[in-house]
Amino acid sequence: MEFESGLSQFSPAVAISEATLPAARDDAAMPALPEGVRRLPAFGILLAAVTAAGALGIAPSLLSLWDVWANDPLRSIGMLIVPAAIVLLLRAWQQCGWELRGRWWGLVAIVLAYAMSNSSRMVSWNLVAGPMHFNLFAPKLALYGFASGVVLLFAGKRVWLHAWFPLALLLCAQPVPAIGARLLDLPLQSLSAHIARSFAWAIGFPPSDHELLRLMFTPEFGMFIAPGCDGLRGAVTLGYAALIAGYLKRVSIPRWLGYVTGAVLLGYLFNLIRLCALVLYYRIAVGHHSLEHAAATADYVIGGCLILVATLLFLRLAAEKPEPTTNIHPQAEQADRLESAGRHPVGGKLATFAAIALLFAMPGVLALRSYRKSFAATVQSGGISAAQLNAFMPEELGGYRLSRAWQEQANGRIAVESAAYSVAGQNEATLGIWLPPSAHSMHESWRARGEDPLFRAERSFVTARGPVSFDSAFYSDGVTDSFAGNALCTPAGCLTTHRQETLRLEFTVRPIDYTTRGVRAVSIFFSVEMPHTAAPPAAVEQQLTAEAARFLAGVDFADLSRKFQ
């Protein structure tokens, strides 16, 4: 009884202690928030605004990336990769509790990114290995450096390490390296054409040469299977989607590689299915006028169904539970994280960042202003008509007179302006201009069409403005023999296009400018051709070289470049 009485006297105290214990634990685990954390939403808005304004400092790099996305459908996915990387970066920062443990040396990365971006027009630094070129001042590197600097300056090293994937994804702003497309494109085109033709034979519809040409190269049917329908775009798109999905699912490295590999192969498989479906539709539609005019719609329906299948597969993948992983910051570290924000003031960093960004804002604004007037913006907006382009071609060059002019398209835009010139007793000569604001060799275009030169070398010809060095080559496909050359020309003169195959590091002051009106370099090519004969190739090449020399003697390449500024 005495024991029970004593227990009853302490029972209220015990009850009160148990009732207040959870609150006491919460208070101990979650101390009073520092001032910087209590104002985090307002600070986040201010930081986002300053970062967006600071991006003006890397405007030259962003404009270069935009040119890549707008002019190349294969790389256009880059305009989605960059926003995806930013969203994933914010997600990683949020997972770290919006840490504010930044260090001042993040400013070093930001300043280097600014310097790299704004010096791209003054200097270039390339690692050259045969046909492969690696730009060490590439726009994607400036973008990566700027984003990394902002994270290091405000969030700190731990967030930067945790956000490794979103930051690395910014390095894919140019999604497909040029050498990758070069090595894959031609084999895939050949494989796609072979499978499409084999399928036509398998369904008892062996296409004649006329029918095959009409199907593969003539858009009058409403749709056509062009040589570029090799599935590379779909494979790249699905590959990047799988790459991001694997990161979000936190899968193991082997499984992640399996996701990406499977998605790339799935893209190629879907393209082959699409090609075979188009051949089947062509077989059914031939002779039916209404079906022929609905061919483009049928192409979209087939592609849409395949995209729907791919979407369902990704939704199935997303429905799986993520693999278990340890929390980056356990609950026990929350107090230390929040208190650390008070020891790393962000106001001074933000003010310093804003001051540095302001210094580089003016060059960025000038770059935007110059871009609006550049040839790149004009070409992308479709501001040049076919009639205007034809009017730029000279009516007479020496004794050669203009016989006809035409345009060729690439990626839905006019890319090449060509004109044919003739004179009595000579084979017809062609002069052409590459219009997009970029370096280009027509030899690479012909190579993409399956035309490989028998001989290729650097040769100099006397023109109306003096000697010009051309990257020239002789072609013979069994039907036509031709001799062609390519050069880069500005209103001041032409530049050498000598091709070296050695491994070297090139540092160039004032690299070639392809966009600024009045001074930009324009890729100009010529060709002289004749029907194929049984004569030895060396003799045919010598004959065509002599005709090319007579034609080029009347061409002023510098003046022609001035017309296409």
Judged against a pLDDT cut of 80, whether residue 503 lies above it is answered with no
Annotate 235-263 with b (16+ C-beta within 10 A) or e (fewer): bbbbbbbbbbbbbebebeeeebeebbeeb
pLDDT band at 293 (very low <50, low <70, confident <90, very high): low
The amino acid that residue 351 corresponds to is A
Identify which of 33, 35, 90 has the alpha carbon closest to the alpha carbon of residue 346: 35
Per-residue confidence (pLDDT) for residue 216, from 0 to 100: 45
For 28-55, the three-class secondary structure string (H helix, E strand, C coil) is HHCCCCCHHHHCHHHHHHHHHHHHHHHH
Average pLDDT (363-388) is 81
pLDDT recorded at residue 325: 47
Q: What are phi and psi of 515, to 5 degrees?
A: -120, -30
Taking 80 as the threshold, does the pLDDT of residue 17 lie above it? Answer: no
pTM of the predicted protein model: 0.72
**Most confident segment among 13-22, 29-38, 217-226, 290-299:** 290-299
pLDDT at 154: 94
Least confident of 84-93, 204-213, 236-245, 386-395: 204-213
* pLDDT tens string 526-564: 999 999 988 999 999 999 999 999 999 999 999 999 999
pLDDT at 75: 86
Q: Helix, strand, coil % (nearest 5) of the chain?
A: 55, 15, 25
Cα atoms in the 13 Å half-sphere on the side-chain side of 419: 21
- For the segment 215-243, what is each residue's pLDDT rounded down to a tens digit? 444 444 444 444 445 577 888 888 999 99
Strand, helix or coil for residue 100: coil
Higher pLDDT, residue 287 or 402: 402
The structural domains of the chain, with segments of one domain joined by +, span: 42-175+344-372, 178-319, 386-563
Number of C-alpha atoms within 13 angstroms, CB side, residue 485?
27
pLDDT-wise least confident of 294-298, 436-440, 516-520: 294-298
pLDDT at 279: 79
Residues 392, 417: contact at Cβ < 8 Å?
A: yes
Residue 256, pLDDT score: 92
Kindly report which listed range (364-368, 510-514, 516-520) carries the lowest average pLDDT score. Answer: 510-514
Rounded to 10°, the helix 253-285/232-249 angle is: 150
In the three-class reduction of DSSP (H, G, I as helix; E, B as strand; rest coil), residue 421 is classed as strand
DSSP assigned state of 416 = E
Q: Which structure tokens are listed for 132?
A: 């492969």
User: Does the pLDDT at position 290 exceed 50?
Assistant: yes
pLDDT surpassing 90 at residue 168:
yes
The pLDDT confidence band at residue 324, using thresholds 50, 70 and 90, is: low
